[in-house]
Amino acid sequence: MRNRSVTHSTEAAFHALADPTRRAVLDLLRLGSQPAGQIAQAFPVSRPAISKHLRLLRRAHLVQERRQGRHRLYQLDPEPLKAVDSWLQQYRVFWQANLASLKTFVETEYAKESAQSPTKAQMVSGGTKK
């Protein structure tokens, strides 16, 4: 049986990542810690809307908040992304295997066609045999 808290935090991370604004906030925080006001200035939405996004990211443990004077600084916490990456890894393996099979198929078909087709030189000289 799965640990409920791990499952819940993974679901929270996926929910948080589902929104493009929250993904953009995470991208911004990859550059380093930033105050909430500076984060809000980077987006064309209201400060309260950014505050809600930051709160959801904090609840998903994707960002950490700390106070410095009267400012709230946010920084990326990439730890929950490991679960997302682990889930995605299954699909990377799937696509790598399927693309390798496709490559083999295409190369085999190309080799068959090349062996059956007369070369340009044979066609020009009329040297094809039937």
99, 55: one domain = no
State how far Cα 82 lies from the chain centre. 12
Chain segment 85-124, per-residue pLDDT in tens: 888 888 888 888 878 788 888 888 888 888 887 665 556 5
111 inside domain = yes
Contacts of 18 (CB under 8 A, 6+ apart): none
The DSSP symbol for 30 reads T
65, 39: one domain = yes
48, 90: one domain = no
53, 100: one domain = no
Contact 58, 96 (CB under 8 A): no
Given this model, what pLDDT does residue 7 score?
Answer: 54
Beta strands in the chain (DSSP E): 34-35, 63-68, 71-76
10, 69: one domain = yes
32, 94: one domain = no
47, 64: one domain = yes
3-state secondary structure of 73: strand
CATH code (residue 46): 1.10.10.10
Chain segment 5-61, per-residue pLDDT in tens: 445 578 899 999 999 999 999 999 999 999 999 999 999 999 999 999 999 999 999
125 inside domain = no
Strand partners, 73: 35, 66
96, 61: one domain = no
124 inside domain = no
The whole domain housing 68 covers 4-76
Given this model, what pLDDT does residue 37 score?
Answer: 93
Strand partners, 37: none
- The domain tally of the chain equals 2
